[in-house]
């Protein structure tokens, strides 16, 4: 199974913004099923789900997911860093299946509007072997070099100060918001790093419309509206 594309879907039960968020539906299927459906479109896929939810484990079995991880409570809370969940999934999968994964594709359930072309672009970029991590992102109108300030005592200063002053947005360095749509990461890099955004990061740009990250009930309504519009 060395040449498989190992795809991780992390879908915990709890969520502060929306109850059972990963089981909420966009269109006719749940968020976690959107990730499974997309993962199955990737050639030579091997799909892994990490969850603390019995319902999601059942969904995984129903959808013939390759490997299911019953995530411990210590990694299922609101304060559990996602990177630690990824590391746990790698270690458990490698140990139980006697593997040594070289890279991991992560498809969070909260981005149901991305498409297979977006993911394939990430895979292509990653396989140039220039990057430790490839992410998705979209251009932002809020630029820390130009039109964002931070509080400093009783005063406010530009977030990212520079020796050069920028008076127009188009003159400032290009800034992207990180999208949660997809991550592809070298496993040895993941396991040794506390901060995965520290070295040789690649980015694939996607439209803002496909980069939605569902965190609130309003996000869910917007995603359903856009999904319905796309389907018509």
Ordered by start, the domain boundaries in the chain are 5-140+175-231
Q: Which of 96, 5, 84 is nearest to 47 (CA)?
A: 5
Fold designation for 5-140+175-231: Spore Coat Polysaccharide Biosynthesis Protein SpsA; Chain A (3.90.550)
> Can you give the pLDDT at residue 161?
65
Q: Which two tokens stand for residue 125?
A: 């970029």
Please report which residue ranges of 42-186 form alpha helices under DSSP H: 54-62, 82-97, 116-126
Mean pLDDT for the chain overall: 91
Q: How far is Cα 190 from Cα 86, in angstroms, rounded to an integer?
A: 8
Q: Name the residue with tokens 């006697």.
A: 98
> Can you give the pLDDT at residue 159?
80
Q: How far is Cα 44 from Cα 109, in angstroms, rounded to an integer?
A: 20
> Can you give the pLDDT at residue 78?
81
DSSP E strand boundaries for 43-197: 45-51, 67-70, 103-106, 133-139, 149-152, 155-158, 176-186
Answer yes or no: pTM beyond 0.75.
Answer: yes
Is residue 207 within 8 A of residue 105, CB to CB? The reply is no
Q: What is the pLDDT of residues 120-175, one digit of tens each?
A: 999 999 999 999 999 999 988 777 777 788 888 888 887 876 667 776 767 777 88
Which positions ≥6 away from 1 have C-beta within 8 Å?
46, 97, 99
> Can you give the pLDDT at residue 147?
75
Task: Pick out the chain residues at pLDDT < 50.
Answer: none
> Can you give the pLDDT at residue 162?
66
Q: Counting beta carbons within 10 angstroms of the beta carbon of residue 32, is it exposed (0 to 12), middle (13 to 18) or buried (19 or more)?
A: buried
> Can you give the pLDDT at residue 59?
96
């Amino acid at each position: 199974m060395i040449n498989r594309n190992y795809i991780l879907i992390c879908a915990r039960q709890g969520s502060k913004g929306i109850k059972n968020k990963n089981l909420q539906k966009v269109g006719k299927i749940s968020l976690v099923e959107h990730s499974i459906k997309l993962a199955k479109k990737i050639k030579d896929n091997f799909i892994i789900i990490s969850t603390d939810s019995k319902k999601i484990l059942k969904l995984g079995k129903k959808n013939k997911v390759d490997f299911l991880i019953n995530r411990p409570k210590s990694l299922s809370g609101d304060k559990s860093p996602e990177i630690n969940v990824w590391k746990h999934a790698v270690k458990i999968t490698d140990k139980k299946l006697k593997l040594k994964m070289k890279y991991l594709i992560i498809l969070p359930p909260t981005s149901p509007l991305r498409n297979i072309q977006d993911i394939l672009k990430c895979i292509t970029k990653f396989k140039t072997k220039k990057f430790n991590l490839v992410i998705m992102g979209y251009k932002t109108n809020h630029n820390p070099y130009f039109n964002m300030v931070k509080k400093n005592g009783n005063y406010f200063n530009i977030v990212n100060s520079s020796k050069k002053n920028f008076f127009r947005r188009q003159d400032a360095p290009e800034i992207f918001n990180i999208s949660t749509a997809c991550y592809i990461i070298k496993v040895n890099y993941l396991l040794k790093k506390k901060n995965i955004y520290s070295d040789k990061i690649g980015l694939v740009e996607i439209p803002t419309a496909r980069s939605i990250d569902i965190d609130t009930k309003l996000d869910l309504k917007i995603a359903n509206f856009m999904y319905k519009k796309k389907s018509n």
